[in-house]
Amino acid sequence: MSAVESRRPQESSYAPVEEQRARWERKRGRIAEELAETERKYLERLELVATFFVAILKAKGTLKPAVLDAVFGPWESLCSASRTLVMHLERGHLALGLEGFCHQLVLYSHYAENFVQAKKTLQKQVRKNKSFARFKKLQETRPEFQGCQLEDLLPLPLQRLPQYKCLLENLVANILPESSSFEQLTGVLKSVCDVFHQVQKASRIHENSCQMSRVQKLLKGQKIQLSAPDRWYLQEGWLMVVPPKGEEVQQRMFFLFSDILLVTKPCHPLHPWNSHKFACQAIYPLSQCTLTKVFGHTQSQGGLLSLSFPHKKLLLMSCDQQNFNKWHQNLGTAIR
């Protein structure tokens, strides 16, 4: 056997590995191109707001500096960070550009923290500041905006953050651990994920606060205060209460939170100011509750749930299978 022939099996064994490396390289290149292309489009829209709103409003003094900052926050800094990233990506400095961008992620945290207040401030200015309202309407008619309103563009940074996370996850998944940029990109991904989760958490806390406030306003009187540390809104809806002794089934509105279950009934429809509210009949702590599915195990028309408390037992029925399943799941989660 010749030396050339003796090497052939070894060479062929490396072929699939080289092919896999080549596939990863091609995919990594496509992801890098997608990142650069989407970042350019993102920057164009950021600069649209920076040019036609932030810069002009700052020059004209239509909004007071504090109000301008409340509405737009670090918008110009977000533009600058994106502009620098685009420059690096276009020059092929992927890891270097992303590592530098990583230090600007705090801007996204600050923007997310103030976003709810920014929307409220903008709405207030549109209502009360006629000069600003006219200016806003005029700018939005420019062809560059393509029919978009300022309200449509303000969430852009919060929408871009999950895109960064997704693209970076794909990028890191297609790079070899021994690559010189692997450690850099893994660090960038971790930083992006940390900020992403912070923003998500802030959003969930705000949404929960809004739900608690809404339900509080639906309840008659002020005896029940729903706001409590670590209490989360889960679900609400109508369920039928099946009495233990052949009495008439009663339909009640239930509000489920992470630690309590509220049973309410609607106030009289002709009541002068409480017609749209609910009177609380009972509050059940879920820490000592046992949940049992009496029936509804198959894809039937709803089911019956048994909730056992130390001094009370509730039989709750729903004729809608999807609604029944959701109540069973959320009650189980809250009790656990």
* 171 vs 31: CA distance, rounded Å: 6
Average pLDDT, the chain: 89
Q: Which of 190-194, 215-219, 246-250, 293-297 has the weakest average pLDDT?
A: 293-297
Mean pLDDT is lowest, of 26-30, 109-113, 219-223, 265-269, for 219-223
Main-chain dihedrals φ then ψ at residue 147, nearest 5 degrees: 85, 0
Domains of the chain listed by start with CATH number? 3-216 (1.20.900.10), 223-335 (2.30.29.30)
- For the cut 70, the answer to whether the pLDDT of residue 83 exceeds it is yes
DSSP string, 262-315: EEEEEPPTT-TTTTT-EEEEEEEESTT-EEEEEE--SSSS-EEEEEEETTEEEE
In the numeric block, which tokens belong to residue 275? 């017609």
Across 67-89, average pLDDT: 96
pLDDT digits (tens, 9 = 90+) for 212-254: 999 999 998 778 888 888 899 999 999 999 887 767 888 999 9
- Residue-wise pLDDT for 175-184, tens only, equals 888 788 888 9
pTM for the whole thing? 0.75
Say which residues have a Cβ less than 8 Å from residue 164's Cβ, sequence separation at least 6: 192, 196
- 184/97 Cα distance (integer angstroms): 10
Confidence of residue 11 (pLDDT cuts 50, 70, 90): very low
**What gap in Å lies between CA 164 and CA 306, rounded to an integer?**
46
Whether the CB-CB separation of 107 and 193 falls below 8 Å is answered with: no
